[in-house]
Each structure stands twice: as C-alpha cells, then as structure tokens.
C-alpha cells in the first residue's frame, strides 16, 4: 500500500476528491488515503491556510493529491500551491494536453506535454515597492543554471521514457537575454546528450500562435515558470479546457498531483462538478508510483464513458448527468 496525502481543498474540491478516491478504490489501487487540510476553509477554521500537520504529512509520505484551493486575488494569504511547490522543491510542473473522445473542440489529434519550471522565473512573487507612495512597483525574475538543468533534463528524460520524438524549448531570449537567454543556452547544451530526440526552440509569442495554428506539431514542451503557466492553460483550451487536463508537480524526492482549475464555489454542493481533471492527475500519480496497469484501466474506463455513455457525464463536458452519475458510470465499467 502507498500512503498518499489527500487534500480535498475548497469549494468543489470535497466532491471531486470523493469521486476520484471512489474510482481509484474501485479499480483496486493500492492507496491508503491520509486526509489533510489546506486553503481558504482551513484558514477560516484553523487560522492558517497551510496547517503544520499538512506540511508534516507531506514531508513524511512524499506524495500528495490535492483538490482546488481558493487563493485571494490581490490581498490575503499567498498561494498555497506556490508555497508547497517551493517548500518541497517540486521543480517540474507537468501538464499533458490530449484530445479526448467526444469532447467538443475544434482540434483533434493533440497530444502535447508541457514541462514548466516551477520554482523560479517571474512567477515566484519577488516584488517590492520603489518609494513610499506605492506608485512604482517592481518584480524580479530569477533563472539559475541548476534549476534550468533540472527541468530541461526532466523533459528529455520524459521523452525517452514515453517514446516521445521532439522537445520544444520556449523562451524570450531576443529580449530577456540574460534570464531566458541562460535557459535557452542550457537547453542547447542538454539537447546534445539526447541525439535521438529532435530539439527546437521557439520565442514565446510565436509559440502561442503556432499552438493554435497547428498544435499537432508539438510533443514535449519545456519552458520557464510564467510562460509555462500561460501556455499550459492554452494547451488545455485546445482539448476542452482545464476540466479535462491533469497536472503533476514533481521534485527529486516528493510529488504533488492536482487539478489546476478553480474551486468553483458557485456550484459547490450541487452535484455539477466534473472530476476528470483531478482524476487524470491521480492517474499521473499512479504512473509516478509505477502502478501503470491500474492507471491504464481507469483511463480506458473514462474514455469508454466519454464515448458511449455521454448522458452520464457532467454538463460542462456535454452530458446531462451529475458528479455521482459520471463517477458511477466509470466504476461500473471497472467492476464489469
């Protein structure tokens, strides 16, 4: 059995984590769930959005599955997602985007995996006011050789492990010559160690255009923190949205898997929440634990429901069903 820290989160998090754990348990996944709290609800009840008990549980068990958390915009406590990534040095944010059966999208045949550096760049929130009148603010982007080598190597190693053919490095080295210039330089150096993998680099604005003109040309993509945050959501949009794409945050000795969509408090408790994104994140977790057969059984069951039992699916993916009907349809296939 694997001990996994389960953080249901806020809003619809409670419903979709229940759905996902039910599906994994039905499939016979060897998981012992250790439930912990974080987010806005924890802050209201316990006075902190990230209790020490939750941090200690992740330190002990090293694997976590996390539902969506509510982060205040512009004020309040800092993003728990960012805090956990930095605390456990989860430097690889991995976001697959694959076309799914019977999901409405103008694009077919999309199958790309985004590797985003998770601990540095502009996204880390190193900001300060210049002067005392709060009329001039500055942010600092940090790029180091060590962090760049880790994420770029992780992307190439993933390509080797999963039979991928190409790695595309995304940068803005024509303008940000020192920070993303360093990232690009290191990418070129590492690519020489993987001659069997095609390597290309693209400037981020061209990359965004190419992704909507011809997304099928991309395979594995690696980029810096802020660019990856934006492009990974764009990639999700190509295949149906954040509700159908999973995410992993992986370091050298710990990993956290999460749904990256919001906590959707407006539909919480109404049975409308779609658990697919968190479920696909959980399948990435099973693969991380090398439970490949169980992950593939569940994925096949999801595809069958999407294709042949659309009425059981939640409304956001074209069905007439509820969280429970979708979950039960998947479980029925697994039991059969």
Residues 6, 36 contacting (CB under 8 angstroms): yes
pLDDT, averaged across the chain? 94
pLDDT surpasses 80 at 77: no
Catalytic residue among 25, 44, 45, 205: 205
Which candidate, 209, 308, 235, 320, places its Cα nearest to that of 272?
Answer: 320
- Annotated catalytic residue, options 172, 201, 312, 326: 172
Same-domain status, 88 and 126: no
The whole-number pLDDT of residue 104 equals: 85
The predicted pLDDT at position 241 comes to 95
| pLDDT of 71 higher than 80 | no
Find the domain containing 303 and state its range.
1-105+239-336
192 is catalytic: no
**How many distinct structural domains can be found in the chain?**
2
Q: Which of 18, 91, 229, 326 is catalytic?
A: 229
The answer as to whether 234 is a domain residue is no
**Residue 43 reports pLDDT greater than 80:** yes
Concerning whether 123 is annotated as a catalytic residue, the answer is yes
Same domain flag for 253 and 299: yes
Q: What is the mean pLDDT of the segment spanning 26-51?
A: 92
Q: Give the up-direction half-sphere exposure of residue 35: CA atoms within 13 A in the CB hemisphere.
A: 8
In tens, the pLDDT along 203-238 reads 999 999 999 999 999 999 999 999 999 999 999 999
- Determine the average pLDDT of the residues in 84-95: 92
- The answer to whether 313 and 326 have CB atoms below 8 angstroms apart is yes
**Above 80 in pLDDT, residue 72?**
no
In Å, how far are 15, 160, 275, 285 from 30, measured between CA atoms? 21, 27, 20, 12
Instruction: Check if 316 is active-site.
Output: no
Mean pLDDT of 229-252: 96
The pLDDT assigned to 78 comes to 62
| Cα(72)–Cα(262) distance, integer angstroms | 12
- The whole-number pLDDT of residue 24 equals 98
Single residue among 192, 223, 254 that ends a domain in this structure: 223
Q: Single out the residue in 197, 223, 249 at which a domain terminates.
A: 223
Q: Is residue 125 part of a domain?
A: yes
What pLDDT is attached to residue 74?
Answer: 45
Options 91, 123, 158, 326, the catalytic residue: 123
Q: What is the 3-state secondary structure (H, E, C) of 80-97?
A: HHHHHHHHCCCCEEEEEE
pLDDT at residue 61 is higher than 70: yes
Environment class of residue 198 by beta-carbon count within 10 Å: exposed (0-12), middle (13-18) or buried (19+)? middle
Q: Is 90 found in the same domain as 1?
A: yes
pLDDT of residue 124: 75
Could you report the per-residue pLDDT of 251-277, keeping only the tens digit for each?
999 999 999 999 999 999 999 999 999
Q: What value does the mean pLDDT take over residues 267-292?
A: 96
Show Cβ contacts of residue 176 under 8 Å, excluding neighbours closer than 6 positions.
141
110 located within any domain = no
pTM over 0.85: yes
At 127-168, the pLDDT tens digits run: 889 988 888 999 989 999 999 999 999 999 999 999 999 999
Q: What is the pLDDT of residue 75?
A: 46
Determine contact, residues 255/238, Cβ cutoff 8 Å. no
| Arithmetic mean of pLDDT, 80-100 | 91
């Amino acid at each position: 059995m694997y001990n996994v820290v389960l953080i249901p989160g806020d809003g619809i998090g409670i419903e979709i984590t229940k759905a996902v754990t039910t599906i994994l348990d039905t499939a016979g996944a060897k998981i012992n769930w250790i439930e912990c709290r974080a987010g806005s609800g924890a802050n209201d009840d316990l006075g902190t959005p990230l209790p020490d008990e939750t941090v200690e549980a992740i330190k002990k068990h090293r694997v976590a599955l996390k539902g969506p958390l509510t982060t205040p915009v512009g004020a309040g406590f800092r993003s728990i997602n960012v805090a956990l990534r930095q605390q456990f040095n989860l430097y690889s944010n991995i976001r697959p985007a694959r076309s799914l059966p019977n999901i409405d999208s103008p694009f077919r045949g999309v199958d790309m995996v985004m590797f985003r550096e998770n601990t540095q760049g502009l996204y880390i929130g190193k900001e300060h006011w210049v002067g005392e009148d709060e009329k001039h603010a500055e942010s600092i982007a940090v790029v180091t050789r060590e962090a760049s080598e880790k994420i770029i190597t992780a992307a190439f190693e993933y390509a080797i492990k999963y039979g991928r053919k190409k790695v595309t490095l995304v940068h803005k080295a024509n303008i940000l010559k020192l920070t993303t210039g360093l990232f690009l330089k290191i990418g070129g150096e590492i690519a020489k160690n993987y001659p069997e993998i095609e390597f290309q680099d693209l400037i981020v604005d061209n990359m965004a255009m190419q992704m909507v003109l011809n997304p099928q040309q991309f395979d594995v993509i690696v980029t810096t923190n802020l660019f990856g945050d934006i492009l990974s959501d764009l990639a999700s949009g190509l295949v149906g949205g954040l509700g159908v794409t999973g995410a992993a945050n992986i370091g050298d000795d710990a990993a956290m898997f999460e749904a990256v969509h919001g906590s959707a408090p407006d539909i919480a408790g109404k049975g409308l929440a779609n658990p697919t994104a968190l479920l696909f994140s959980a399948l990435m977790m099973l693969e991380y634990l090398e439970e490949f057969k169980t992950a593939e059984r569940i994925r096949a069951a999801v595809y069958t429901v999407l294709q042949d039992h659309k009425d059981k699916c939640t409304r956001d993916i074209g069905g007439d069903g509820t969280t429970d009907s979708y979950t039960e349809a998947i479980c029925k296939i697994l039991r059969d």
